[in-house]
Amino acid sequence: MNAKRRLLIALAASVVGLLFVVLGTGRLLAPPTALAHKEKHTLDQLNAFQEVFMEQVKIGDLLFHGDGATEKRMNVTLSKTGMACAMCHPFASDTHPHEFPKFQEQINKFSTLRDMINWCIEKPNEGVKIDPDSDAMKALEVYIYWSNRGSRLATGTH
């Protein structure tokens, strides 16, 4: 093999090697993406997920208990009567998230938990219904689920 060919091969190998290094490093430095079980989760990652989760539970707790500052920040009006969800549902009891979706007699149609949350905001609390896919709705939903964890799934139960 002449010198020119050897030089070309070495150059190609270097470029490929450099690409591996750059891409590999890039992956290491990038924020954790959803690996979705391609790789094993570290304890730090699991703790990070839990932190994000509990942060939402805390926001849901504040909204559920009528915290005005949190409502204002999230641009929602959950009640105009001065009442809060927790006043009829201490510890989020009697919300039965494990029974949804089901036919809900107050709404007179087949409903999800989010439908029921919005019904309560609008009717007993005389508030303004919120976007079902909003951060506020997800926070309320997660607080209700978190407060009822361990419940046996019993969808369709009255």
Partner 1 sequence: MEPRESDLDPRQIDMEIDRGERPNRALTITRRTFINKAILAGTAAGAASVGWFPTINTIDLAFGQQAAFKFAWLSDTHLYPKSVNTRFVEKTVRAVQEIKAMSPPADFLIFGGDLAQLGDPVELALGADILKELTIKKVFIPGEHDWYLDLGAKWEQTFGKSPWTFDHKGVRFIGLNTVGQVPDYWSAKKMTPKERMGHMATLDGSVAGPWAGVGEPQRRWLDQTVSNWPKSQPVVVFTHTPLYEYYPPWNFWTRDWREVNEILKPFSNVTNIHGHTHQVLYNEVGKMRSIGMLATSWPWPYAPEGVPALTKAMIRADPGDHFDGVGWSRLSVAAGKVENEYVMFGRKAVFADAEVDSGTGDNGNQILSPRIADRMYPY
Binding residues (CB under 8 A) for partner 1: these are: 54, 57-58, 61-62, 65, 67, 81-83, 86-94, 96, 98, 106, 120, 123-124, 146-152, 154, 158
Name which of 119 and 134 has its Cβ closer to partner 1: 119
Separation CA 79–CA 71 (nearest Å)? 10
Please say which residue, 121 or 130, places its beta carbon nearer to partner 1.
121
Comparing CB distances to partner 1, the nearer of 26 and 82 is: 82
* In the complex, minimum distance from the CB of residue 115 to partner 1, in angstroms, rounded to a whole number: 14
With CA atoms as reference, report the closest residue to 65 among 95, 87, 81, 80. 87
Q: CB nearer to partner 1: give 3 or 153.
A: 153
Least distance between partner 1 and beta carbon 125 (Å): 10
- Of 143, 141, 144, give the one whose Cα is nearest residue 132: 141
The token pair at 8 is: 């070309």
Minimum distance of partner 1 from residue 88's CB (angstroms): 6
Token pair belonging to 147: 């407060």
CA dist 102 and 92 (Å) reads: 19
For strands 109-111 and 102-104, give the pairing: antiparallel
Nearest approach, Cβ of residue 127 and partner 1 (Å): 13
